[in-house]
Homo-oligomer: A and B are copies of this chain.
């Protein structure tokens, strides 16, 4: 029988792979200035430190690091995450309420695995992170978009959705959101924890950018207001140490975490021990925050340069003013189409991600997501000038 007659699972109906990851493939052109990625700067990746740590850890405890590990995670990392979470995210949890995972993407996958049957509903910010939307769609969830404004997701709309639609989950990125860069206000954080408990909705609080703050005041996590256990917290070291190591973590109430552990047994058995041990060393030896401070200095300058130039960029009607993270979200004048203009921009040597991809219901073709972490200040100036040229030539 011809292999073309193979039939795939219905979860793939309507799924075509990440549009962003396809765009990235087009950008491997020398000299391209890319505002499209969401990657850390090369300078922010601690290669020498990791080289020394990897060698030291493997010489010191290689026999156990190279052996099978527990699905529940590398015990020292679970322990060192406890004070980190208390200190940085303002919540108490026990080591056995923490599951190290293979990047926080896997945390989202495991939450869906634990909770979502086809047709189940998940409330999401509109716009939100594309990768996790694809995850939810592969679990055949129905996504319920909730509008966001300068203070993050609108909790008035959210309560209506909870009341009427009874979603199983809310997916929210509270700090320096992807793609908008916005931060959820303190009041809304409290309110979301309260609504979750009132309506029995699991909140997947995805907070990978928090440590990249360049201005303003830190806010406590939604999880810190969680008294009943409905908030599951997704953490990542991809933006502050290395995405290539694939280490994140999930904190959740015991019964939910147990289901995620069982799900993880057949996802990848456990997260690579060496990678967990490297992250543990960053936490345990106090290496993380000094490293974060170093990279924030540079990112702040990059962001401020881009914000300054956006104010003067032709065709840009409005844009967000983040206090940290990796992204600025802008809207071009009504009628300008960012998907079509991308081709021209790429020809001119500059790229962004059209904002429409981040909207669960599509539309918003005039929106663009700009990343500033991967470019030098000089590149940002050159790239913004190119955008200005293209947008000004295509004004509407």
- A residues engaging B (CB < 8 A)? 1-12, 15-18, 21, 39-40, 42, 45-48, 50-52, 54-56, 58-59, 62-69, 71, 102-103, 105-106, 108-109, 113-117, 120, 131-132, 134-135, 138, 168, 197-200, 202, 228-230, 238, 241-246, 253, 255-256, 258-259, 261-263, 265-275
In the complex, which residue of chain B has the Cβ closest to the Cβ of A230? B3
Contact assessment for B17 and A265 in the assembled complex, using a CB-CB cutoff below 8 Å: yes
Contact assessment for A9 and B103 in the assembled complex, using a CB-CB cutoff below 8 Å: no
Neighbouring B residues of A52 by C-beta, 8 Å: 55
User: Which of B200, B202, B266 meets A132, CB within 8 Å?
Assistant: B266
In the complex, which residue of chain B has the Cβ closest to the Cβ of A199? B1
Contact assessment for B113 and A138 in the assembled complex, using a CB-CB cutoff below 8 Å: yes
Contact assessment for A255 and B4 in the assembled complex, using a CB-CB cutoff below 8 Å: yes
Neighbouring B residues of A275 by C-beta, 8 Å: 272, 274-275
Neighbouring B residues of A131 by C-beta, 8 Å: 265-266, 269
Contact assessment for B51 and A63 in the assembled complex, using a CB-CB cutoff below 8 Å: no
Q: State the 3 A-B residue pairs at the shortest beta-carbon distance, nearest first.
A: A47-B62, A51-B58, A135-B266
Contact assessment for B259 and A272 in the assembled complex, using a CB-CB cutoff below 8 Å: no
- Chain B CB within 10 A, most for which of A198, A243, A253, A271: A243
A48 CB to closest chain B CB (Å) equals 7
Contact assessment for B54 and A255 in the assembled complex, using a CB-CB cutoff below 8 Å: no
In the complex, which residue of chain B has the Cβ closest to the Cβ of A18? B265
- Chain B CB within 10 A, most for which of A15, A51, A238: A51
In the bound complex, what is the Cα–Cα distance between A259 and B105 (angstroms)?
A: 18
In the bound complex, what is the Cα–Cα distance between A134 and B258 (angstroms)?
A: 15
In the bound complex, what is the Cα–Cα distance between A358 and B1 (angstroms)?
A: 32
A295 CB to closest chain B CB (Å) equals 13
A323 CB to closest chain B CB (Å) equals 24
Contact assessment for A59 and B67 in the assembled complex, using a CB-CB cutoff below 8 Å: no
Contact assessment for B67 and A45 in the assembled complex, using a CB-CB cutoff below 8 Å: yes
Contact assessment for B265 and A21 in the assembled complex, using a CB-CB cutoff below 8 Å: yes
Contact of A6 with B39 at beta-carbon distance under 8 Å, contacts A55-B54, A138-B263, A244-B69 already known:
no
Contact assessment for B47 and A268 in the assembled complex, using a CB-CB cutoff below 8 Å: no
Other A-B pairs, 10, CB within 8 Å; known A8-B115, A17-B262, A113-B138: A42-B67, A48-B62, A51-B58, A67-B242, A69-B244, A138-B263, A244-B272, A246-B269, A246-B271, A272-B275
Contact of A3 with B39 at beta-carbon distance under 8 Å, contacts A17-B261, A259-B8, A265-B134 already known:
no
Contact of A246 with B272 at beta-carbon distance under 8 Å, contacts A21-B71, A62-B45, A67-B39 already known:
yes
- 23 example contacts (A-B, Cβ-Cβ < 8 A) are as follows A1-B197, A3-B230, A3-B256, A5-B200, A6-B115, A8-B114, A9-B114, A11-B113, A12-B259, A17-B261, A45-B66, A47-B63, A47-B66, A48-B59, A48-B62, A50-B274, A51-B54, A66-B244, A68-B238, A138-B263, A243-B269, A246-B268, A272-B272
In the complex, which residue of chain B has the Cβ closest to the Cβ of A273? B244
Neighbouring B residues of A253 by C-beta, 8 Å: 3, 6
In the bound complex, what is the Cα–Cα distance between A320 and B261 (angstroms)?
A: 34
Neighbouring B residues of A108 by C-beta, 8 Å: 266
A329 CB to closest chain B CB (Å) equals 21
Neighbouring B residues of A45 by C-beta, 8 Å: 62-63, 66-67
Contact assessment for B68 and A243 in the assembled complex, using a CB-CB cutoff below 8 Å: yes
In the complex, which residue of chain B has the Cβ closest to the Cβ of A198? B1
A202 CB to closest chain B CB (Å) equals 7
Neighbouring B residues of A103 by C-beta, 8 Å: 268-269
A201 CB to closest chain B CB (Å) equals 9
